[in-house]
Amino acid sequence: MEPQGKATVCEKLGLGSGVNASRPVDLTHLARYTLGNQSLEREVLGLFHDRSELLLQRLKAAVGDKAWSDAAHAIKGSACAIGAWHVANSAEAAEALDGAQRKAGSQGILEDLERLIGEAKSYIVFLLAETGPDTGI
């Protein structure tokens, strides 16, 4: 789900809507974001892997609009840091929901986010296993 009539996170960053659609994490963005520091790349990926589930649970448990928006915003920020554009776009759509619209659309967006975060986490596990602690991503 993406916000209708608004630019997606990717478009706002000048990356277009189909950025690295074949990968859950944009490794080029990650390398740029971390200034090529491979240790930092691993750390940032690990942080997303570990925190994303907590943030998703916070979103699921959100009762009011503010708690919902804050949790969605945190997911979006974490996703943008590693270049998980599909997660970021879905989280941005979640962040835009409030009131009756949030109540009506929350289940679909939660399922979407859960799937996308799962894909990103699986990819991260693959990357970290493939690279080992002393090699680049």
> Residue 14 phi/psi, 5° resolution?
75, 25
Task: Tell me the pLDDT tens digit for each residue of 95-107.
Answer: 999 999 888 888 9
Can you list the alpha helix ranges (DSSP code H) found in the chain? 9-12, 27-33, 38-61, 65-82, 85-96, 99-131
User: 0.85 exceeded by the pTM?
Assistant: no
Task: Tell me the pLDDT tens digit for each residue of 59-91.
Answer: 999 999 999 999 999 999 999 999 999 999 999
**Which domains are seen in the chain, by residue range?**
23-131 (1.20.120.160)
